[in-house]
Every structure is written in C-alpha cells, then in structure tokens.
C-alpha cells in the first residue's frame, strides 16, 4: 500500500565532494518538491556533523532557478563532512528528528556515509521512531559493492584519462628532458581511478605504460625493470600510480610524509609520487617528475561526463521514491543494461551488505602482469565517461632526404 502519511525530509551530502554530487541533491529535492506527502525539505549543513548541531537549511525557501544551476555546479552545495558517529550521537540525531518531525533521510555519500545511514536506521528502529533512511551512492573511488558503478566515478575517470593524454603529450615533445613521469591518482584501496588513466590509450606506445594499483603490492626491483624496458623501447615512460600503493610489507609508499588519519582512521598520506621519482632518479639515473591532480580529479567541471551527471540525478530522485515506499536501511544501486544500448536503471541493496565494505578492481580487468588494463575494463568504463575521448594526430617521421 502506498505511503499516505506526511512528514519532513532531510537530505545530506557527505565525504569527498565530486563534480556531480549536486546532481543527486537536485534529483532528491525536485522529487520531494512535487510530492504532497512531503512537507518540509531540509538540508544538512555540513552533513551529519552539522545536523548534530541542528544546523539545517530550508530547501523549500530556495528559488526554483537554483536547482537547474546547481545541476551544473561541482562540489557539495550543502557542505560536506568526514565525521564518524561517536557514542550518543545516533540517539541525539533521532531526538532531533523527533523535534523537527523528520521522517525521511536521504544521505549522499560513499562507504563511510553508508555506515552513518545504517546506524541511523538501526537507532530509529531501536528507539521506536518511524524514520526511513536511504543511502545515495557517491564516490570517485567507485568501490561501493552491489552497484555496477558509483556516481562521481565517470567524471573523475574522464578527467584522469584526458589529463594523462595531455600530460604525456608534453613528455613526448621533449622526452630527454624528463623521460619518466609519474601521475598520481586518488582511490584509497581500489585501483579504479588509476585504471581510468588508460582509457585514452590506443596503442602500446601511448601513455600510460605502467599502472601501479593498490590491489598489488609494490616490488621495487620489478618496477625498475619495467621502467627500464619501456624507456629502451619507447624513449620515455609515463606511470599512473595510486597514492596508496603499498610495499611488500604492507607499508604505504607515501607513509614518510603521513600527516595523521581522518575521522574514520584512513591515513592521510603524502602520496607515492615523490617516493617513485626519488627511486627512479637514484637507481636508474633518469630524470623524473610527477603530476598530482589532487582535488581537480574530483572537481573538474569541464570534464564532467553527462552520463555520470544524469545517473547522479537519477539516484537522488529514486532515493525519494524509495523512502516514500517505506524502504529503509537501503542504498540505491545502478543496474547496467547494454542492450540495445548502454543505460542504467536502479535497484536497492541492504546497507548491512555495503557499510564499510569495498569493491576492488576485478582480476579480469587487469593483464597477467597486473600493470595494464584489459579490453574488459574498456568495455566497462568507456560508457561511463560520456563523449568519446579525443584522438591526437602525429606527424609521420618522414625525414628530409638530400
């Protein structure tokens, strides 16, 4: 039976902002605006951390024109947070919900945000308060299980593919100047973003030539052999490396400059790029440098995948539909269909299966030596990045004859 009760909805954004996270917010707000079962539409100001301080924004009072503009705006318009719930927080959150008659929560975020949503749903049940909580997937890391992919990934993947192509063009123009280049990507424990740097690679000589992903332990001797072999064959080497790659003992290569941990005890690393540059210089006596796109890979508005934006909007909209159908303690998922052409529908997965879990890069997406992606990865990722990547022409090496 359809839900006919009334109540207020609370929408929040959490974790690392992306180029399309606002599309999920817009999808949820626009769905809520047209449904008579929803009274107030509230936004968490700076995620659950702000909500615990009763810092909320009245989204019904915003001009309607705002939502079409936010659809094209990167970053988290409500403000975001990286806050791990402490003792007493969930009970306090439910009491705030009681006072403001909040009956529905849509929380947009990744693994840690899914854990927050799960804990809120459980607390409401234990405290006998009717509250429906749905998690809306978002992460450039693309590591949430039970969904084909995550909103945010397609745009970050597009950025990294183009950035790798463009940066490599500079290296190719004067290869003896800095013959070894490291491009450092985000991704925490999963190699999805590092793999995306290869999406513009069309032949063996194209960059990147070596991928270093978190799923594979780094062996310095093997790496140096690979660099030397590519250098002899191509004349320069472009390496895409995840910031979190670890050595054979499990120690992150960027741990030397570690500056602590975040609220969820994820290490805040200086990154692997400097270590790799120093290693190449010392052992191979080759000049080397690195590019670190940093936040640009999450936030570059000029590289947004329209497919990614549309799907981010879709999961936000579907979250409201699920809440009004009395679904709770669930996450919206994207379900891929390849026929007659690529498109996605949505599903639901229990948060008990998702909270604090990670989906790593599958073995079939990597070559036998684990340093490059296979055609299966191209088939998976190319539909997510929107328009085809550019093809750069090359001048044929036809020498002038006397």
Active-site residue set: 141
> Which residues are CB-neighbours of 376 under 8 A, at least 6 positions away?
364, 365
Alpha-carbon distances, residue 60 vs 10, 64, 65, 134, 381 (angstroms): 12, 9, 12, 20, 37
Element (H, E) at 379: helix 375-381
CB 35 within 8 A of CB 4: no
CB atoms under 10 Å from CB of 330, counted, come to 24
> Going by DSSP bridges, is the β-strand pair 102-109/132-137 parallel, antiparallel, or unpaired?
parallel
Three-state SS for 251? Answer: coil
Spatial separation of the C-alpha atoms in residues 400 and 402, rounded to whole Å: 7
180-185 and 237-242 beta bridge pairing: parallel
Q: How far apart are the first and last CA of the chain?
A: 87
């Amino acid at each position: 039976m359809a839900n006919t009760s009334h109540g207020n909805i609370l929408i929040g954004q959490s974790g690392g902002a992306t180029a399309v996270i606002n599309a999920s917010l817009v999808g949820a707000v626009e769905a809520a605006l047209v449904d008579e079962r929803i009274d107030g539409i509230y936004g968490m100001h700076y995620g659950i951390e702000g909500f615990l301080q009763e810092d909320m924004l009245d989204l019904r009072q915003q001009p309607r024109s705002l939502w079409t503009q936010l659809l094209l705006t990167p970053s988290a318009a409500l403000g975001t947070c990286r806050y791990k719930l402490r003792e007493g927080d969930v009970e306090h959150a439910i009491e705030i919900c009681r006072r403001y008659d909040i009956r529905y929560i849509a929380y947009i975020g990744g693994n840690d945000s899914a854990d927050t949503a799960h804990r809120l749903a459980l607390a409401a049940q234990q405290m006998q308060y009717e509250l429906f909580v749905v998690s809306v997937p978002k992460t450039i890391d693309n590591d949430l299980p039970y969904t084909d992919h995550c909103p945010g990934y397609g745009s970050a993947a597009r950025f990294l593919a183009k950035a790798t192509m463009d940066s490599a063009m500079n290296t190719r123009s004067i290869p003896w100047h800095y013959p070894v280049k490291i491009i450092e990507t985000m991704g925490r424990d999963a190699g999805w973003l590092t793999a995306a740097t290869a999406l513009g690679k069309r032949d063996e000589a194209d960059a990147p030539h070596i991928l270093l992903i978190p799923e594979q332990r780094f062996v310095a001797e093997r790496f140096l052999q690979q660099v030397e072999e590519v250098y002899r064959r191509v004349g320069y080497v472009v390496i895409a490396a995840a910031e979190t790659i670890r050595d054979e003992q499990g120690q992150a290569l960027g741990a030397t400059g570690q500056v602590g941990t975040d609220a969820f005890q994820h290490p805040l690393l200086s990154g692997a790029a400097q270590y790799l540059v120093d290693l190449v210089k010392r052992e191979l006596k080759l000049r080397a440098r690195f590019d670190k796109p940093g936040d640009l890979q999450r936030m570059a508005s000029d590289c947004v995948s329209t497919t990614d934006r549309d799907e981010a909007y879709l999961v936000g909209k579907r979250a409201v539909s699920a809440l009004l159908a009395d679904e709770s303690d669930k996450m919206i998922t994207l379900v891929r269909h390849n026929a007659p052409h690529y498109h996605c529908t949505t599903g639901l997965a229990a948060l008990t299966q998702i909270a604090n879990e990670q989906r790593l890069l599958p073995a079939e997406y990597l070559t036998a030596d684990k340093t490059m992606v296979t055609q299966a990865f191209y088939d998976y990722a190319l539909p997510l990045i929107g328009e085809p990547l550019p093809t750069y022409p090359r001048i044929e090496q036809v020498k002038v004859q006397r």
